[in-house]
A = this chain, B = another copy of it.
Amino acid sequence: MTATLYVCTTCKAGETHEDDSQRPGARLHRALSALETPQDVQIVAVECLSACKAGAAVALSQPGKWTYVYGHMTDADAPDILTGAAAYAATDDGLVPWRERPVIFRKQSLARIPALKLPAEAAE
């Protein structure tokens, strides 16, 4: 299974740009895409994660694991975001030990959501 790193490409983070490609969210997505994607992680661009007051925002999600949303990310955080995504992908439940989380993940969590039970599990 592969963990998905969602990146909001429309995040403005309080900046004003005539060119949407210069938005902080779009810049963050480019910075992440320019680096080597960790094994078992896929990067998916999303138009709006509805975290507009706390952008730029990213989310980590995978079936059977807790979902995490992080805010106030910048392109300079791209390496740490990928390190954190790789640690997340390596867990069974999405719960990375606190000390192994990048500082930006420890301090800039917007929310986490429990793993949904998949229909197959719910029927067991």
Contact = CB atoms under 8 A, between A and B. Distances in A.
Interface of A: 1, 4, 6, 44, 46, 48-51, 54, 57, 59, 61-63, 67-69, 71, 109-114, 116-120
Contact of A119 (B51, B61, B118): B118
B62 A116 contact: yes
Given A50-B68, A67-B67, A111 B114 contact: no
Given A51-B111, A54-B111, 16 more contacts: A4-B116, A48-B112, A49-B111, A49-B113, A50-B110, A50-B111, A50-B112, A59-B111, A59-B113, A61-B113, A67-B67, A67-B113, A69-B113, A118-B118, A118-B119, A120-B120
